[in-house]
Amino acid sequence: MEPPNRAVRTSKIVGDGVTEAKPFGELTPKRIRAAFLDLLGRPPLRAERDKWAGKGLVALLDDLLGGEAFWTKWLEKQLYYFLLIDNFRPRAERVESIPADLTEGRLHVRDAIHRVVLSSSFNQRNPGADTFVTVVMEQLLGIVVQKQTRELEIGKAAYDGGSGLFLGEVVNSQSDVVGVAMGDKRFGQGLIDREYQRLIRAEQNKGERRDAIRAFEKDEFTFIDHYRKWFLSPEWEARLGRPRRTTNRDWVSSLLVDVYDRLPTPSESRRMRDALDGLSDPTPLKGLLARLVLDSQEAKLPAKEDIENVSKWIDQKFLDLLGRSSTDEEAAVFTGAFREPDCRPATILLAIVTGGEYQSQ
């Protein structure tokens, strides 16, 4: 359904002095780019930008939320939350099949995370009774274990084959501890809070949060509806004005999609991400990686002499890479730089993709 009063509700998107007023729900370059970044962890391909230009946000959400790519990214975010990355990433078929199972409705999100926590990778990442039960209590339920030491000790005993009453339920094994935690109402509360803050970048209204939790407890298969509702709210529109630092993983995906107009291969993404993750300040290396990507043959940039309308070409690059037009000041600076003998099209793109706005969307 469309947001109420669609014909009269408008919002302003502000970026470096650029204000754009459009009816709520109408797709602008900024909204298209933000929706893809938020839901898929990458910007749209050129064909996707063209497909959705000027259309409605409702239709775009139906398309993105109905695809396996959304659940693949969702699973990546959950694995990262549990620090199940690189050598600790689960490779079991039961975990690898989660996106497809969620897409086809064979699984809901509680059971999906249950599979992750029962994986051998989770156990290896959190070895020993104390570490394992602590992580289960803290990351699944938000419990401060220092305030629940009795529950922690009972959970540890069950992990080692003992028996006890853990969070009000009898447990006799490690899997029992996980099962009780997964069934606790605090799991749903924490998941909704975590996902809302990840996507909207703010605290949820108390009343809406309460309704979301109740709906989740009533029917876990409708969790996808919460994403649709959040993205059709003024709060998501406000999120466009709250940029945050892009993760190394998403920055790599954005760079390759924006320059090569294709999805990165797993090996490309892993090599670049691993190099960036090993640095306390990856900014200089990002500049080097961006230069290498832009200078590669696959970038297929136009020759300088083939660009007839420089200001129009530069403005289009701002729209493609930042989701907005260039300001008058930016247009003057970039056009002036382009006229310098040593400046190439790649130089212009390098300045944009290494800028603070591109790295914080």
pLDDT value of residue 18 = 38
Cα 176 from Cα 70, distance rounded (Å): 31
Question: Helix %, strand %, coil % for the chain, to 5?
Answer: 65, 5, 30
Which residue type occupies 252? V
On whether the CB atoms of residues 248 and 277 are closer than 8 A, the answer is yes
pTM of the model: 0.87
DSSP string, 46-69: HHHHHHHTTSBHHHHHHHHHTSHH
Residues in the chain: 361
Cα 177 from Cα 246, distance rounded (Å): 35
Cα 54 from Cα 94, distance rounded (Å): 40
pLDDT value of residue 4 = 36
- Divide the 361 residues of the chain into consecutive groups of 10 and give the mean pLDDT of each group: 35 40 75 95 96 93 95 95 92 96 94 96 96 96 94 96 94 96 95 95 93 92 92 92 89 95 91 90 94 94 94 96 95 95 95 94 87
Radius of gyration of the chain (CA): 23
| Residue matched to tokens 């990686």 | 289
Burial of 215 (0-12, 13-18, 19+ CB in 10 A): middle
Taken in order 82, 88, 89, 91, the sign of the CA dihedral is negative
pLDDT value of residue 2 = 35
The CA–CA distances, whole Å, from 255 to 42, 43, 205, 264, 313 equal 9, 9, 35, 9, 19
Q: The tokens of 350 are what?
A: 């390098």
pLDDT value of residue 222 = 87
DSSP string, 160-225: TT--EEETTEEE-SHHHHHHHHHHSHHHHHHHHHHHHHHHH-SPPPHHHHHHHHHHHHH-GGGHHH
pLDDT value of residue 12 = 40
Options 3.30.70, 1.20.120, 3.20.20, 1.10.3130; which CATH number does 248-353 get? Answer: 1.10.3130
